[in-house]
Amino acid sequence: MDAERVRLLATGLVVADPGRCVQCGICSHNCPCGIDVRAFARVAGAVTDARCVLCGSCVARCPRGTLSFTLLRQWT
């Protein structure tokens, strides 16, 4: 794992735009880490599960553009 990847893992997370989400579950279905992304998106607005490796599968597969990466310091 290169230094940039480590930096992103330490400082980034996947966040959800609740206005776009219809809780379809494609994000959870495609998560290789088995995280229930949909539940995190609904309850917390962000994937705060420590297993998340920021692979981007959920971000890429969401048909409504609900999920995106952001910096931890910008997420409150």
Nearest to 57 by CA among 22, 21, 14: 14
Q: Specify the DSSP class assigned to residue 64.
A: T
**Contacting other proteins (CB under 8 A), which of 3, 4, 34, 76?**
76
Token representation of residue 60:
């890429």
Task: Determine the Cα–Cα distance for residues 47 and 37; give it in Å rounded to an integer.
Answer: 6
**Contacting other proteins (CB under 8 A), which of 5, 25, 60, 72?**
25
Is there binding between residue 38 and other proteins (CB under 8 A)?
yes
Residues that bind other proteins (CB under 8 A): 12, 15, 17, 19-20, 22-26, 28-29, 38-39, 63-66, 68-71, 74-76
